[in-house]
Each structure stands twice: as structure tokens, then as C-alpha cells.
Structure 1
Amino acid sequence: MRIAELAGRRVAIWGFGREGHAVLKALRARLPAQSLTLFCSATEVEAARAFDPALEIVAGEPDAAALGQFDIVVKSPGISAYKPALLAAQAQGTQFTSGTALWFGENPDARVIAVTGTKGKSTTSALTVHLARSLGVRTALAGNIGMPLLELLGQRAELWVIELSSFQTGEAGPVELGVVTSLYEEHLDWHGSRERYVADKLKLADVSRTLLVNGLQANLLQYTAAHPHRLVFGTPEGWHVRDGMICRGAQAVFDSAALAAPGLHNALNACAALAALEAIGMDARTAAPALATFRPLPHRLQPLGEHDGRHWVNDSISTTPLATLAALESLHGRTVTVLVGGHDRGLDWTPFVEAMRNASAHAIVCMGSNGARIAEALRAAGVACPLALVDNLAAAVAEARACTPAAGVILLSPGAPSFDQFKDYAERGRRFSALAGFDSAGIASIDGLGIEGVQRG
């Protein structure tokens, strides 16, 4: 859908976060006379009125009747496409679109690498951009990683690297290359079931001319077997990790120990980025040395440093138990106290519990709304390491500080969303950093968002 198609229609915007702001700015720029209604929370009404005095503002969650008054509703990604009110209005003829879909409608000829995955999509996207820029390519980094596409409306780049969440994969237009880094269980509250989550995630395959997937995941290979132009990374015939080296086939190309982003999974993310560039005809081997200058993204296994004689690692982005396991694996051999728990989406913690039975952390501190459920499962399984159950992050940090020996590691890798205590994972990560004794303002930025050209270094 093009923005021009909204002219003269009854249009509403649903959501007043950063995506909603970007939609409003874009529509006002292209359709200044268009009447617009905003659905937002009661706490956002004053800010929305200041942002755009011409808006008609409706506070609170819209029902089917309210949504049905409009021809087109532009909704933010966090609003589930399976809400009963939305489905009822859709059945009555209301069209639902998004900022992502509108950007693709405006840019049908853009050269796009679209990246999704349960874990690894942000780092893979940022690595791909970093490597492309090292080759002198004017490259854009946008999407779910922290910059809505419509904030870049009207700008030009040689290559667009767009991170898509499972909420957005069905909104993308045709892309030159789709990348799927991993596929686990997540966001069941938005999608409604594991099967629907998988189906929604893999909608990216339907619009990808070429599809690049993690060859180490049997389920992902099975789901994508029918794609006519499928490539894989992680296996010996392509870009993969062997004996600590990032390799292309039999050739060792880069020592993964030189990556500032730790762990095998980040080395695999680097393989995905190199394979992505190769898939679109760029010289991945020439770009590979630039991996050494990549700065890890905040809140993703981010080493904060040493304080009070202990090392602190912020992995607040971790919202699944499997992500927590990956974080612990990256710190293998060290004395680690891990902080787990948060908003309860009903995910299965059995793999985490079983792993802790065999090779547990030094200590586990459970917190948040699902903390008691995790602690109970760990105790029932006979996990041998010390366990603690606390209410919130501040208490969890205090407990971890008390039980972690000097030179040990305190790892925040919750395996759950933050909504029980915080606005988002970034706020949780900043709070953890402050509680640990670090300057939380200094860890928040993601390098390279937007459009840049040569970044040699």
C-alpha cells in the first residue's frame, strides 16, 4: 500500500510509541490535509496533543466498533494482529497496515536484506551493515533494531538491511535476501500459539528471492526445504565456525576470539552476515577483517566491566530460556551467578532446568512474575547450585552481589520479557547497569542506525 492511497480515506493510527510517531510524521509530510485519528493510552493523550494538535485522539483500547469506523488503521507492531477486536473489524472491511508495509510500498525497488530470527537478528543485522560499510557501500540499518523505516522515508541507500520481528515479517514487500538466524518458541502471547509464531516468522520466506537460514537448526531446514533458492550458513560447505575460526568452506578466514561480541552464537551471527553479503554478490572475504572493529550492541551479552571485584554482563535482551542458555555457554568455565525471570508468557523452562541439572551456574537468582515458577522447577529437578527467589531486579542484584565470589561474573540474562517491572528490555538493562555501579547512560546507543557510507576502520 502506498501512502497516497490513504488520501481522502478514514484513517486511524493505533499506537503512540516510536513507530506511531514515525507514521504520524510521514503522513503529515505526504498528506498534510488528511484527517487522522489516534488511538493511544490515557497517559499518552497530553503528549499526543502536543505532538500533533490537529489529531483527533481516542484514549484507551479500541473495540471492534471503534476500529470499524475507519477504512484503514495503521497499527504499531506490538499490537497483536490476532486481537478479537481487530479481527472483527477486519471482517467488516477495515484494512490494517503498518509503517513497515507503507515503507515497502513506497520503495518497491530498494535493495533489501531483511533479517529475522528468534535470537541473533539484531546483531546479525548490525554486523551485515558494518561489513557492507567497510566495503564502501552506502548502507541503511533500520527496522525493529531501533529505527522505524518511516523515519528514513524519502532517503536513499545502495543497500537496506532491515531487522524484522515476528510481528513484522508479514508486512514486508519483496526482498532480495531474507535471513533467518534461528527459530525457537517466543512471543506466544502475541501470536497465540507456537504454530502461528512459526508460520508468521517464516512469512519472510514467501517474499524473499533468496533465503539464507541457519543450517544447524534441523527444524528450520525442514520448514524452509521448499524454498527454490535457499542457502545455509553454519555448516562446513559455507560460512561456519571450526576450531575457533570463522571459515568459508575449508579456508579459515577470521579468528573468532578477535570478535568483541563473545560466544559461539555471535561467531555464527558473523557467519550469517558474511554469507548474506556473499549471497548478494559482495566480497565477504575482503570484508571479514572488519569484524574486529564491530562494537557489540547494548543489552546483548554486553560486558559492563568490573565493579566491587566482580564482572558484570548485561544480556537484558534475553527473553527466552534458550537465550539464557546461550549466554551461559558464552561464559563457560567462569564462575557465573545468573539472574533469571520477568514477565510470564508461559514459555517452557524445561530445557533450561535440564541443562542446570547437568552443568549448573554458580548460583541462580529468580525474580519477577515467573520467578517462583522457575525456582520451583529448578528445586523439583534437584539442581545443586544455590537458588534464591526475590521480587525484583534490585533485590536480585543485591542477592547476586552477596553470593558471587571475587572475580566471578554476575549475568543478567532473564529469559523473559521485562513488562512486569519495566517499559522494555533496554530500561531493564540500564537499571541493572546502574545497580551494578556503572553509568547507565553510556550503554544505551546502537552504532550505525540510519544511513551511512564508508566506515573503514
Structure 2
Amino acid sequence: MNIYRRSKVVIIGLGITGISCVNFFLSRGVVPKVMDTRISPPGINKLPCFIQHCVGKLNETWVLNATLIVISPGVYLYHPTLILAKKLGIEIIGDIELFAREACAPIIAITGSNGKSTVTQLISKMARSMGLNIGLGGNIGIPALSLLHKAYQLYILEISSFQLELTHSLRATIAVILNISEDHIDHYPYGFKQYYLSKQKIYKNASICVINALDILTTPIYHDYNYCISFGEKEYSADYYIKNYKGYDWIVSNEQYILNCSVMKTHNRINYVNALAALALSDIINIPRYIALKVLSQFSGLTHRCQLSYKNRGVSWINDSKATNVGATKEAINNLAIFGTLHLILGGDSKSANFATLAYLIKQHEINIYCFGKDGLLLTELGKNHVFYTNTMLQALCIVRRRLKNKDIVLLSPACSSLDQFPSYKARGAIFTNFAKKFG
């Protein structure tokens, strides 16, 4: 039965998610209207010619005459027209809600302020190595709705707070929140608590919850799950944790030393903790331990996440462009072995973040900071001495280059979104890497 057949559907926000929503409804015999506040949104050229669309603004008439509004991630939900639509009782949902209503296979749902792409990739590689036919998607770049065209044994979804905010029907077999730190506060008029509660929705109706024992915000506020499994960087009461034994860090569970972290190709504690979460997930779905450990030992980290891009004349250039919030940048700094000067590249759209804890860290370590982009001037307030302000990242890198000495580290960990000056964090990271290899 097609529950949308008589719906008047409006899709707000294009890009790959918006297009996947259009295709979803067309496959069910429903022709939606589409709008985007951007003048030239990505995906506009992929719309069939018979689809009515409006760009550069919200079409209030279309919105208020709809019976169903589907919002793409990142669209601001508190536009006056959308507030009015909600008051009128018009249903407003996102793509994950549409997916959750129709998915038949078990779902592993993964969220967190940082690390969710890494853990999603790790557990996906483990499952595929076991021979499982998995559907991998969500916030990781493959729209969840595009997975409904095939029969899978297991869905593995990375889900953002934007997507969770508009999701009500998700019933994950396993749900995990890796961590919660301040991010996207400009999207939440009621502040950090609203962001936190959006993340918590991933646990609602989940069978098993995987939590971070050292982050109390990841403890479920809903109590309709069967049981919890925990991981944590330190032992305490976690089921999976890191323990130092004879000078080496080990992944440990139930007092069993499972993996010597030194055999992994990535040597930072951020990814050790991500490995804990992935191992917990793999054990729950009964992936043979030898398969999981093989994947972990071969994992070299994600591109643009604490990635050593280039090393020359004793200087290391580290690309952490994926650090789009304060928590990620703090983690990057805390996991570096610094023997010379750390040159930190910050900048972009801060999303109204609170930088107080990062300021303390920068002053404590006497880090040189180079600030650029939309909120570059604001970011200069984080340091005392050796603070530089430029309009662009390339201008900042030219200054850095002239000041480098043996054992120095150049770290691109912007703590901000890239979209003020770049198409994506990937583009930002690629430009940084190219500069390092050409001039470093």
C-alpha cells in the first residue's frame, strides 16, 4: 500500500539527499514540489523537467498547502514559514524517517560529534569481510533512501543530529553515540541541550545501546532498550577499554588483551577509541574476532582526519580538515607528540561555537595560531602571542612556511565548517595537502 499516494509533498533542500527524496517519491507515483534557499543548489540539473521547483527562497504557498514536508540535513528548521507549517499540523520529516518506515533488515545506527565516519567505515569493512551483504549510507555520502532498491542483510547508517531531529520511527538493532561535544549550535536556537537531545533520539526504540563510558552525555535517556555495552579510553567500568601493558597500549575486554595498538597503522588515541567502538559492534553481531582484528590492524585512518599529508626537513604537515568543531580540534592537539612548535590553522564558519576550552588549550601549550575565513578575526582572540590573521587559508600557509623549523608541526584542524570558502572539508584538506607537497 502506498501511504504517500494522496500526499502533497514538498521537499526542501537539494543536494544528494534532496535528489534521493525526489526519486523515492517518484518511484511511488508521487510528484513532489522542490525548493531550496540557495540560488544555484547542487543537484538542480538532475531534477526531471516536470518537477516544479523554486530556488533562492521558500515558497510559502507551497509549504502551507503541503500535507508532507521533507527537509534535507542542514536546512534551518526555525524559518517562520516552517514554524507556521508545524503549528498548522503539517507533518515535517527527513530522509531517515522515510527510510526507517520501509527498511526491513536490521540497522546499526551510528552518531557522535566526532568519529562517526571512522567507526562506520570500520564496522562496514568487518561486516563485508565476513561476507555480509550490507547497505552502507546516511550522512557518510550515500543517501539512505538509495539503499531501499536492493535487499540487504544489514544496514549500517551514519546519522547526523540534523537527520535525527526529524526521525521518529527508527528502531535500530544497535545504536551508538560515540561522544557529544558542542557543534552546530547556530542550528539550534535552544542551545546545546537541544543538540544533545537530537543525538539521544538514536537510542529511542533501539534493542542494544553502545555508549562511551567516559562521556555521560552518551548514556541513554530513554529506557526502552534491552541492554548497554560500553567502551572507554580508560578502564573504569567500560566493557572495552585501552590499557597500558609493558609500555604498549592494548585493546582489552573482560580482562583479555585483544590487540596491541602498536600493530595498527594509525598511531593516535582518537582512533584507538574508535577501534574500541567498532570492536564492540562487531562482537554484538558475531563477526569472528580474527576478522575484526585484521581490519583494525590494517586501518590507517580516514583521509582528512589527523592524516600525515607530508613530512620534509623534519616538519610534519597534518591534515585534519574534517575537524569542523571544537571537540575534534582539541582531540587532535591532545593526541600529538609535540617536540617543536605547533602551527595551528584555524578558520571558517564557527557555527556560533564556544571556543573557551580551546582557548585554554592553545594558551597552555603556547601554540602559534593562524586564523582565516568568516570567523577568522573572532578566532584570533584564542591566543596571546604568535597570532596571525589572514583572509584565506593559502595566505595563512604562506606565513607558516616562512616560520618553520626542524621538528615543527603544521596542523590544519580548523574547528569550523569549510563552507564559507570551500565546497567541502575535503576540498579544504586537498588544498592544504597540495600546498604542503609543493612548498613544504
Partner of 2:427: 427
3-state secondary structure, aligned to 1:297: coil
Q: Which amino acid aligns with 1:405?
A: K
Larger CA deviation: 392-401 vs 230-239:
230-239
Partner of 1:451: none
* Structure 2 counterparts to residues 222-301 of structure 1, below 5 A: 229-234=227-232, 236=235, 237-243=238-244, 244-284=249-289, 286-301=291-306
Residues 360 and 219 from structure 1, CA distance in 2 versus in 1: closer, same or farther, beyond 3 angstroms? Answer: farther
Larger CA deviation: 49-58 vs 188-197:
49-58
1:48-87 Cα distance to aligned partner (Å, 9 max, x none): 3553111111122215443112111222111133333212
Q: CA deviation at 1:43?
A: 3.5
Matched, 1:187 2:193: no
3-state secondary structure, aligned to 1:266: helix
Whole-Å separation in 1 of the counterparts to 2:424 and 2:361: 27
TM-score normalised according to structure 2 size: 0.90
Partner of 1:450: none
Q: CA deviation at 1:378?
A: 1.8
Matched, 1:360 2:366: yes
Whole-Å separation in 2 of the counterparts to 1:364 and 1:62: 40
Matched, 1:81 2:77: yes
Moved over 6 A (4+): none
Partner of 2:201: 203
Whole-Å separation in 2 of the counterparts to 1:255 and 1:77: 39
Larger CA deviation: 122-131 vs 55-64:
55-64
Residues 25 and 334 from structure 1, CA distance in 2 versus in 1: closer, same or farther, beyond 3 angstroms? Answer: farther
1:133-186 Cα distance to aligned partner (Å, 9 max, x none): 232322232110111112222212222110000111242610101001001111
Residues 157 and 360 from structure 1, CA distance in 2 versus in 1: closer, same or farther, beyond 3 angstroms? Answer: farther
Gaps of 5+ in 1: 439-457
Q: Which amino acid aligns with 1:104?
A: A
Whole-Å separation in 1 of the counterparts to 2:212 and 2:108: 15
Residues 50 and 113 from structure 1, CA distance in 2 versus in 1: closer, same or farther, beyond 3 angstroms? Answer: closer
Q: Residue 162 of structure 1 is aligned with which of 143, 157, 165?
A: 157
Partner of 1:11: 9
State whether residues 114 and 175 of structure 1, in contact with CA within 8 Å, keep that contact through their aligned partners in structure 2. yes
Partner of 1:24: 22
TM-score normalised according to structure 1 size: 0.87
Percent of aligned positions that are identical: 25
Q: Which amino acid aligns with 1:348?
A: N
Gaps of 5+ in 2: none
3-state secondary structure, aligned to 2:86: helix
Partner of 1:452: none
State whether residues 240 and 252 of structure 2, in contact with CA within 8 Å, keep that contact through their aligned partners in structure 1. yes
Q: Which amino acid aligns with 2:161?
A: S
Matched, 1:322 2:327: yes
Residues 218 and 75 from structure 1, CA distance in 2 versus in 1: closer, same or farther, beyond 3 angstroms? Answer: closer
Whole-Å separation in 1 of the counterparts to 2:402 and 2:159: 40
Whole-Å separation in 2 of the counterparts to 1:152 and 1:389: 45
3-state secondary structure, aligned to 1:216: coil
Partner of 1:37: 33
3-state secondary structure, aligned to 1:182: coil
Greater relative CO, 1 or 2 (CA 8 Å, sep 6+): 1
Residues 421 and 46 from structure 1, CA distance in 2 versus in 1: closer, same or farther, beyond 3 angstroms? Answer: closer
* Structure 2 counterparts to residues 301-320 of structure 1, below 5 A: 301-306=306-311, 310-320=315-325
Q: CA RMSD in A?
A: 2.5
Q: CA deviation at 1:285?
A: 5.5
* Structure 2 counterparts to residues 326-337 of structure 1, below 5 A: 326-335=331-340, 336-337=342-343
Larger CA deviation: 327-336 vs 226-235:
226-235
1:204-246 Cα distance to aligned partner (Å, 9 max, x none): 1113111111101134348578865222111535211112111
* Structure 2 counterparts to residues 136-147 of structure 1, below 5 A: 136-147=131-142
Q: Which amino acid aligns with 1:433?
A: T
Q: Residue 177 of structure 1 is aligned with which of 174, 179, 188?
A: 174
Q: CA deviation at 1:369?
A: 2.4
Whole-Å separation in 2 of the counterparts to 1:307 and 1:328: 20
User: How many residues are treated as equivalent by the alignment?
Assistant: 428
State whether residues 342 and 370 of structure 1, in contact with CA within 8 Å, keep that contact through their aligned partners in structure 2. yes
* Structure 2 counterparts to residues 52-91 of structure 1, below 5 A: 52-62=48-58, 64-91=60-87
1:335-372 Cα distance to aligned partner (Å, 9 max, x none): 331101211322111111112222233x2212222222
Matched, 1:342 2:343: no
